[in-house]
Amino acid sequence: MLYHLISYLGKLYNFPGERLFTYLSFRAGMGLLLALVMGLVFGKRIIRMLQRRLIGEEIRDLGLEGQLQKRGTPTMGGIIILLCILVPTLLLADLTSTYTWLMIVSTLWLGVLGFLDDYIKVFKKNKAGLQGKFKIVGQVGLGIIVSLTLFLSDSFVTMPGTEVQLFNHRLADFQTSLQNNISEPEKIMHPKSSPQPLLSEDGFEHAALPAAYASEWGSWGAAAVAQKSTKTTIPFFKNNEFEYAVLAPAFLGGYRELAGWIIFMLVTIFIITAVSNGANLTDGMDGLVSGVSITTCVTLSILAYLSSNVIYAGYLNIMYIPNSAEMVIFMAIVIGSLIGFLWYNSYPAQVFMGDTGSLALGGIIAVYAIIIRKELLIPILCGVFFVESLSVLIQVSYFKYTKRKRGQGQRVFLMAPLHHHYQKKGMPEAKIVTRFWIMAAMLAVATVLTLKVR
C-alpha cells in the first residue's frame, strides 16, 4: 500500500523520494529492516500475551537433557513470523503482482493450518493436534491452488536459458545495427534519437526503445516472447531444463502438454507436503528451524534475483522468469522476520514457533522454489529438512519391520528426528543447533554452485 501510495503521490506532486521505491534493492532492504524491527518490538509483547494466557506447550518427559526446563515456554510464536511477513509485504510489495498474492495466500493457508493444530494441542489439551488427514488435505489443497494458478494465469511465463542467450545476442545485434545507422552529427545534435538503455540501473525494468524504432522491433523484450510451459531447472546438466510433459505417454498426442501440467500438479503437491512436514519435524530445538530457514531463504532470494534478470539468466544459461523481481522483496521480508523471531527463539528459547510457524515456513520455501522453477534443487537446498524427515521414515519403517519379523521392534537411531539422536548421545543442544546451521550453509553454497557445475 505504501509503495502504491508513494508512486501515486510522485506522479501528482513530484513527491520527494518517490524514485527510491522504484528500486528493487531499496524496497527489499526496507522490507527486511521493517520485518526485523517489528519482530523485535512486537515479539516481546506477543510473548507476554501468550504467557498471560498460559499458551504453553505440553512437554513430555523423553529423557532429554534440559527438556523439562522448557515447560511453561509459550508456543504459537509463529504468529510473530506471520505478522512480520504480512504487514511489510502489504506495505512495500507491488500488490498488482500475481507473484506477491500467491505467496501471501500460501503463507496464510499453511499458517492457519498450523494455527489450528496448535490450538487443538494447547486449548483442547489434545496432544495429537489436528488429525493427519486434515493436514494432508490442507497441503494438497494448497498444491492444487498453486499449480492451477501457474497454469491458468498469464502472469506466469518462462523462457529457457538457451532461448534467453539467443534473445540477448539478437538484441545486441539489433542495437549495434541501430547505432551504425545513426550518423555521428545526428547523435550529437539529437542524443535522444540514439537507442536507449535496454535495462534500468537495477537491471530489472526494461526501458522502451524510441518510437522511431518501435515498428522495426515491435513489442520487444524477453517478457514479450516468454511462454507458459512445464519446464523446470534440473541440476548438473549442461542444458538444464526438464520438461514434465516428456513423462506423459506418447499415445496422448496433442494432450501431452495438458498431461504435463497434471504431472506438474502432482509434483507440486508432493513438494509442498514434503517440505512443510520436513520443516515441522525439524522444529524440535531452540533456534534450529529458524536458523536453517534463514540460510535457505537467502539462497532462494539469490536464485530469484538471477532468474528475474534477463542478463544474468542469459549468462548463467538458466530459466528467465519475467516480472518475478517482487519475489526478491517478499523473501527479504521473510528473512527479516526470521531474524527478528530468532532473537527470542535462540537458546534458551523464550517462545516456540509451533506448527503455526513451521508449516508456514515450509510452505513458503516450497512454493517459492516451485514458482522460480528450482523445485528439483530442494533435496540439496533443504537437505536438513530432508535428512530429518528421512530419519523418521527409516526409524518407523525399521521398527515396524523388525516387530513383524522378530516380534520385537528395533530402532536405527536412539531417537528420531535426527537432532534428538545426537541429544540422546549427550551432545549439548546449542552445539547440535549450530552444527545443523553450518550444514545448512554448506548445502546452500552447494545449491548456488549447481548453476555452474554441469
Q: What is the pLDDT of residues 285-312, one digit of tens each?
A: 999 999 999 999 999 999 999 999 888 8
- Lowest-pLDDT range of 101-110, 334-343, 357-366, 399-408: 399-408
CA 369 – CA 94 distance, rounded (Å): 20
pLDDT at 63: 56
Contacts of 379 (CB under 8 A, 6+ apart): 386
pLDDT at 202: 39
Q: How many Cβ atoms are within 10 Å of 411's Cβ, its own excluded?
A: 14
Q: Give the helix/strand (H/E) hosting 233.
A: strand 231-233
Joined grid coordinates for residue 213 = 524504432
Closest to 160 (Cα-Cα) out of 238, 263, 257? 238
Contact (CB, 8 A) for 419 and 282? yes
| Whether residue 158 has pLDDT greater than 80 | yes
Note the pLDDT tens digit of each residue in 381-414.
999 999 999 999 999 999 999 999 888 889 999 9
The residue that leads in pLDDT, 252 or 355, is 355
**5 Rama sector, left if φ>0, alpha if ψ -120 to 50, beta otherwise:** alpha
Joined grid coordinates for residue 250 = 506418447
Q: Grid coordinates 511465463 are at which residue?
A: 157
| Cα angle for residues 173, 176, 182 (degrees, 5° grid) | 145
Q: Alpha-carbon Rg of the chain, whole angstroms?
A: 25
| Whether residue 70 has pLDDT greater than 50 | yes
Joined grid coordinates for residue 256 = 501431452
Please count the helices (runs of H) and the strands (runs of E) in the chain. Answer: 18, 2
Contact (CB, 8 A) for 137 and 130? no
Q: Grid coordinates 506423459 are at which residue?
A: 248
| Whether residue 88 has pLDDT greater than 60 | yes
Q: How many Cβ atoms are within 10 Å of 207's Cβ, its own excluded?
A: 11
CA 387 – CA 420 distance, rounded (Å): 13
For the purposes of burial, counting CB atoms within 10 Å of the CB of 443, is it exposed (0-12), middle (13-18) or buried (19 or more)?
A: buried
Contact (CB, 8 A) for 320 and 313? yes
| Whether residue 199 has pLDDT greater than 50 | no
Is the peptide bond preceding residue 428 cis, with omega within 30 degrees of 0? Answer: no
Mean pLDDT along residues 10-34: 84
Q: Which amino acid is at 420?
A: H
CA 301 – CA 298 distance, rounded (Å): 5
Helix (H, G, I), strand (E, B) or coil at 320: strand
For 422, list phi and psi in degrees, rounded to 5: -70, -35
What DSSP letter does each residue of 51-69 carry, written as one string?
HHTT-BPPPP--S-TT-GG
CA 52 – CA 54 distance, rounded (Å): 5
Mean pLDDT along residues 126-149: 92
Note the pLDDT tens digit of each residue in 74-86.
889 999 999 999 9
| Cα angle for residues 381, 301, 37 (degrees, 5° grid) | 115
Give the C-alpha distances (Å, rounded to integers) separating 376 from 28, 320, 352. 26, 16, 30
What DSSP letter does each residue of 162-221 carry, written as one string?
HHHHHHHHHHHHHHHHHHHTS-HHHHHH-GGGSPPPSB-TTS-SBPPPPHHHHHHH-S-S
pTM of the model: 0.88
Joined grid coordinates for residue 101 = 498474492
Contact (CB, 8 A) for 415 and 445? no
Q: How many Cβ atoms are within 10 Å of 186's Cβ, its own excluded?
A: 12
